[in-house]
Structure 1
Amino acid sequence: MTTTVFSPTRRHWLGLLTASAVLTVAGCSTETPVKLANLTVQDLDGNPVSLGDYAGKPVAITFWATTCPGCVAEIPHMTALYQKFASKGVQVIGLAMSYDELGQLKAMVADKHIPYTVLQDKTGAAAQAFGPVRLTPTFFVLDGKGNIRYQKIGPFDTARVDQLLTELTTG
C-alpha cells in the first residue's frame, strides 16, 4: 500500500476545489442582496423591464438558454413552481441569456407552453449582478429583501426549493 502525501499548498487547493464542488452540487445561500432595482432586462417584445418591479416578494429565477438541453429539461420544474407558488406571491422568472434571440424565445414559450414570466438579459447586466452567471441553467431563490437564499448551477433540488419557498411564503 502506498501513501500519498500532499503539500500544504496542494491540500489547500484540494480543499477549496472540494468545497466548491459541494456548493455546486448542493446549492448554497448567501446574505448578499442582489440589487434588482438597478437591473433592466427586456420582455419578449423587446420592451424594458426593471427587475426592481419584482422586489419585495420571493423570486425563483433561472438563467437559461433555448439551446441548453438542461435548461429545456428544467422547464417542467419551473412550471411546477409557478403552479404551486405564483398564487402565494412568488415571482417565477426564466431569464434568457443575452445570446438568445427573441424569436427563439417566443417559439420556445409557445412550444413548451411556459406559463411563468420569460425575460431576456440582452445586455448581460443581470447575469453579471448575480455572480456572474456563466453557465446555464443557473437557478436562484431570492427572499423578499433580495438576498440569495439558494443558488444552483445545473438541475436544482426541487424538494429543497419547494421547502424554502414554502417557508418564505408562510413566515
Structure 2
Amino acid sequence: MKTNPWAKGLLLLLLISLALWMARSKTYSFTPETTFTTITGERISMKALNGKPVLVTFWATSCASCVKEFPHLIALYDRFHSQGLEIIAVAMVYDPPNRVVAMTNERKLPYPVVLDLASEYARAFGRIWATPTTLLISPDGTVAKREVGAFDLTEMETRIQHLLKG
C-alpha cells in the first residue's frame, strides 16, 4: 500500500505545529528564575517570591492605558499586599529612566518599579512587546493570567482572592 506524499507532509506539518505550540506554552507556563533590580537598588528574586501571588506588569510612561491602570494597581496593592500579594512594575526598554523615576514619584507608586534597560525581563517573561501586559503569577510559580491590554479590576481581584485562599 502506497502512502500519499500529501498525507505525510500534512502529518509532518501537524507535528511541527504541535511541537511549536508546546514550546510556546512552556515559555508562558512558569515564571523565569530572574532577579529584578528596582529603581531604588533593591534586588527581588522571583524564587524568593515562591509561595506568594505576584502581579508583574509591563508598562511605559507614554502608554495612556498603563497610566490609567495605576489607580487599579495601587488599589490591589493596598487591599492585598498585607495578605501576601506582591506587585512588580517593569518599565519597557524604550522608556527613559528619568521619566520612569519621575512618574513613579509623582504617582506615589507603593510597589517596586524596575527598569528593563536591555529587554532582559521582557524576553524572560515571554517576549513582552505591548503595554500594558500584566502577568498574575500563582504561588506555585505558574502563570495564572496573562493580560495584554488593560485588565478588568473586578476579575483581577477575584483571581487574586482565589490565589490567596490557596
Q: Do the two structures share a fold, i.e. TM-score over 0.5?
A: yes
- Residue type at the aligned position of 2:134: F
Which whole-Å CA distance do the structure 1 matches of 2:131 and 2:151 have between them?
12
Q: In the alignment, which residue of structure 1 is the partner of 2:92?
A: 97
Q: In the alignment, which residue of structure 1 is the partner of 2:137?
A: 142
Describe how 1:74-85 pairs up with structure 2 within 5 A: 74-85=69-80
Q: In the alignment, which residue of structure 1 is the partner of 2:29?
A: 32
Shift of 1:42: 2.3
Which whole-Å CA distance do the structure 2 matches of 1:71 and 1:110 have between them?
16
Q: Are 2:150 and 1:155 aligned?
A: yes
Give unpaired runs (5+ residues) of structure 1: 1-29
Q: In the alignment, which residue of structure 2 is the partner of 1:63?
A: 58
Question: Rg bigger for which structure?
Answer: 2
Which whole-Å CA distance do the structure 2 matches of 1:118 and 1:68 have between them?
16
Which whole-Å CA distance do the structure 2 matches of 1:138 and 1:157 have between them?
12
TM-score by length of 1: 0.75
Q: Is the 8 A contact 2:92 2:117 kept in 1?
A: yes
TM-score by length of 2: 0.77
157, 164, 167: which one aligns with 2:159: 164
Shift of 1:114: 1.0
Q: In the alignment, which residue of structure 1 is the partner of 2:115?
A: 120
Shift of 1:34: 1.2
State the Cα deviation string for residues 147-169 of structure 1 (Å, max 9, x = none): 11111111101111101110111
Shift of 1:54: 2.5
Q: Are 2:104 and 1:109 aligned?
A: yes
Aligned length: 140
Shift of 1:41: 3.1
- Residue type at the aligned position of 1:33: F
State the Cα deviation string for residues 93-140 of structure 1 (Å, max 9, x = none): 111112223221111011111111111222212211222110000011
Larger RCO, structure (CA 8 Å, separation 6 or more): 1
> CA RMSD for the aligned pairs?
1.9
- Residue type at the aligned position of 1:132: R
3-state SS of the aligned residue for 2:55?
strand
- Extract structure 1 runs of 4+ deviating beyond 6 A: none
- Residue type at the aligned position of 1:32: S
Q: In the alignment, which residue of structure 2 is the partner of 1:24?
A: none
